[in-house]
Every structure is written in structure tokens, then in C-alpha cells.
Amino acid sequence: MNVGLSDADLAPRIAAGDREAEAEMCRRMVPRIRLYGLRHLRSPSAADDLVQQVLLKILEALRAARLREPDKLAQFVLGTCRMTVLDLQRSSYRQEELLATFGGDLVPDPPPMPRLDDRRLARCVQALKERERSVVVMTFYDEQTAAETARFLGISEANIRVIRHRAIQQLRACMGATL
Amino acid sequence: MTTPHLGGPNDCPNPIEAAVLMDYWLAALPSAAEEAVEQHLMTCDGCGDRLREVIAMAEGLRALARSGSLQVVISDQFVKHAAETGLRVREYAPPRGEGVPCTVAADDDLLVARLAVDLTTASRVDVSWCDPRGIEHQRMPDIPIRAEAGSVICQQSITWAKASPSVTMIARLFAVDEKGDERLLGEFTFHHTRTIPGPPGWELT
């Protein structure tokens, strides 16, 4: 019913009490919020917590018609994600209050992460040139910065990025990625 | 990068490049570019799916890098960091021209060979792994070097070493010039003794 609506169309419907619009908004936003959480919190469970907190805040705001420009729903969600990540170290009181108000049952399951063929990936990495393999291993072991890897190789950070990009491109081709 | 549409699970007409998504995941983008990526991702499920693929690859690479199963040239700082983060590092550093007895234990995580050579006159260096008869079994061409480092640290596959039979391997480092001519920089011998029980290993031919 609401699947064909834009994000902007959903906001006024939620304000009008349309529960299906709420569910559609949650369905759309959960994967996006979770990706933001994975990127900034580096933990699936922390990302799931973020999803719940952000959705509750957004639903509260939308139900109260506090979003004055419905076409800026995505920006509103992004801003709420940022504020929530910054607030994560604070008291959990607010979260508990919101959970008591709305409950957590509106949060659908996030899309599953793609599965990777680990053995094939190992073969692809071993097939890289020596320099590229070194950059890949040192970059991803502990997400070492380009500056640290550049110091080891005695080349510029820009060159490290070029080598890394080239290696990733080759790995994606070797893994059969089509994107 | 532009915002393709306002919501909905459509394909993206302006997809973010995989390299940019990987930089985003690695927190390697400038703040303005990161902002643009996040705004795009908040409206684009197609690129969200692509980011999930990138994350899966990054996680796979991280696990692989930590597994110790790759043969790769690494930095001294990398070895120290691995040890500080709890990995058990088995390291051998035979003097140039000499040999060293070596083995690996079941709970070792990384196996590294420290090969001390003068790198100041070499622009390209190859590592050749040979058996005692001088037959080359593997070559690592044009390894990353830093002239002032004074050594090459080569991580050997711990998976291979744990399953390997007792064997002697010789690492030869060559400086290679533009014509392809080789000059021996150093030779290091590793007398590996298998100490982990398991299925029969293989013989080098």
C-alpha cells in the first residue's frame, strides 16, 4: 500500500496516525540506520541498538508532526543518527523512557550481510602483487591508516590509496563482483 | 555524487564507486566527502546493498590478515602491533649466509622471518624460496622495501608451516636491475622441524 510512496509522502501520513506508513518508514530506514551504525560503532549489536534508539526518536517526532519539511526526512534521520551516536555514552534513561512508550516491536530484521567465500578470497589475495598484498594486509589487519602504511613503504599516502584502490578492484573482479 | 531519489528500493542511477565505499568504511574520506556519502546512503538502498558487499569484503580481509595464513612482506611496526594485540608471533632471524633451526607450535599465530640485508643499493628486490638443491619453489617479485630499513620481514603462512613436514628452505634475496640481471643480497636457511602431530605431510619435489 505505502511501498510506492516517497519518503516525503510517509511523514505526513505518520503524523496522521497511519500505522502502515510507520511500518513502511521503519522497513526503509532500518537498513540505512544500521549501516550508519556499523560504520561508526563497528559493532553489529551496537548498530542494532542505534537502530532502535533512532527509530524511536523519529517515530516520536513524526507522530507529533515535528518534522516541518517532510522532504527532509532522510536528513532528519541522518542527523538523529549522528546525535544518537554522540549521545551513546550518556544515561540510558531516555532510551528506556521511549521504549516504555512505543516498545521495540516496530523494528524489522535488517537485511542479512552478504556471505563471502573465504577460501576464494584467500586465493585472490595471494594472487595480488607483493606490494598490493602488503598494503591490503596492513590496512585491514587493524584498519591501519594510509599514513602508517606509507611510512613503511616509503611512499606517499596518495600512492597508498591508489595501490589499495587497485587491489580492491582486482579482488572484486577475482571474487566475481559485478558492481 | 547526487541523491538519486527520495526513498524506495530502486536501483541507483548514480552509484557510489566501490573504492569510495571502501574508503568510507575505512574512515579514509575527507569529511565533506563522507557527508555526501552518508546523505546518499540515507536515501539509496541500492548503494546500501553495495556497501554491505564492501563491508563483507573488508571483514573477510581483516579475518584473513589476522589468520596468519598469507605469505606477505610486512613492517616491523606491524609485527610489534600484532604481538601487542595478543597474537603469538614466532620469529626467526638467521644471520646472513647462515641457517637456523625452526618450528611452529600449535598456538602460534604468526610466523615471520627477519632477513637482514643492505637494501640501500637496490631499487627492486625479489625473494626466492629454494630447496637445498637450489631449485626455486616460489618467487616473490618486487617486494615492498624501504632502503633504510636494513631488513625484510616476510610473514610465512602459519597454516602451511603447521602442516609442513620437516624441511629445509633457503630464502635468497636478489636485487634486480632494469635489464633483469640479478645480484644476490643475502641467503638465509631455515631448517624446519615439524613438531605438531597430524596427518603425513608432503615432500617437496
Q: Do B64 and A142 touch (CB under 8 A)?
A: no
> Which of A75, A138, A146 is facing B78, going by the closest CB pair?
A138
Q: Do A111 and B19 touch (CB under 8 A)?
A: no
Q: What single letter denotes the amino acid at residue A29?
A: M
- φ, ψ of residue B182 to 5 degrees: the values are -110, 145
Supply the pLDDT for residue A107: 57
- Reading the block at residue B77, the C-alpha cell is 611496526
Query: Across residues B112-120, what is the average pLDDT?
Result: 96
Q: How far is CA A2 from the centre of its chain?
A: 24
Please list the pLDDT of chain A residue by residue as tens digits (179 residues): 566 788 889 999 999 999 999 999 999 999 999 999 999 998 888 899 999 999 999 999 999 999 989 899 999 999 999 999 988 756 554 555 555 555 555 556 667 778 889 999 999 999 999 999 999 999 998 777 788 888 888 888 899 999 999 999 999 999 987 44
End-to-end CA distance of chain A: 31
* Residue predicted with more confidence, B202 or A27: A27
Q: Do B27 and A77 touch (CB under 8 A)?
A: no
Judging contacts by C-beta atoms under 8 Å, the chain B residues touching residue A32 are: 41-42, 45, 48
User: Per-residue pLDDT tens for B26-49?
Assistant: 999 999 999 999 999 999 999 999
- Reading the block at residue A96, the C-alpha cell is 528506556
Is there a contact between B133 and B170 (Cβ–Cβ < 8 Å)?
no
User: Per-residue pLDDT tens for A30-47?
Assistant: 999 999 999 999 888 889
Supply the pLDDT for residue A179: 45
- Alpha helices (H) along chain B: 18-25, 31-41, 45-67, 76-84, 158-163
The ipTM value here is 0.87
Judging contacts by C-beta atoms under 8 Å, the chain A residues touching residue B33 are: none
User: Per-residue pLDDT tens for B154-185?
Assistant: 999 999 899 888 999 999 999 999 999 999 99
For A170, nearest residue in chain B (alpha carbons)? B19
B7 near A CB under 8 A: yes
- Reading the block at residue A28, the C-alpha cell is 526503509
Q: Per-residue pLDDT for B203 more than 60? A: no
Supply the pLDDT for residue A126: 94
Q: Do A38 and B28 touch (CB under 8 A)?
A: no
Q: Determine the residue among A26, A35, A165, A169 to mutate to test chain B binding: the one whose Cβ has the most chain B Cβ atoms within 10 Å.
A: A35
The sheet carrying B125-130 orders its strands as B99-102, B182-192, B167-176, B125-130, B136-140
Supply the pLDDT for residue B202: 54
Q: Determine the residue among B3, B62, B78 to mutate to test chain A binding: the one whose Cβ has the most chain A Cβ atoms within 10 Å.
A: B78
Judging contacts by C-beta atoms under 8 Å, the chain B residues touching residue A121 are: 57, 60-61, 64
Supply the pLDDT for residue B173: 97
Q: For residue A140, how many other CB atoms are within 10 A of its CB?
A: 23
Q: What's the angle, vertex CA B78, arms to CA B86 and CA B70, rounded to 5?
A: 85
> Which of A36, A133, A144 is facing B72, going by the closest CB pair?
A133
SS3 letters across chain A: CCCCCCHHHHHHHHHCCCHHHHHHHHHHHHHHHHHHHHHHHCCHHHHHHHHHHHHHHHHHHHHCCCCCCHHHHHHHHHHHHHHHHHHCCCCCHHHHHHHHHHCCCCCCCCCCCCCCCHHHHHHHHHCCCHHHHHHHHHHHHCCCCHHHHHHHHCCCHHHHHHHHHHHHHHHHHHCCCCC
B58 near A CB under 8 A: yes
DSSP-based three-state secondary structure for B93: coil
Q: Do A125 and B61 touch (CB under 8 A)?
A: yes
For A178, nearest residue in chain B (alpha carbons)? B50
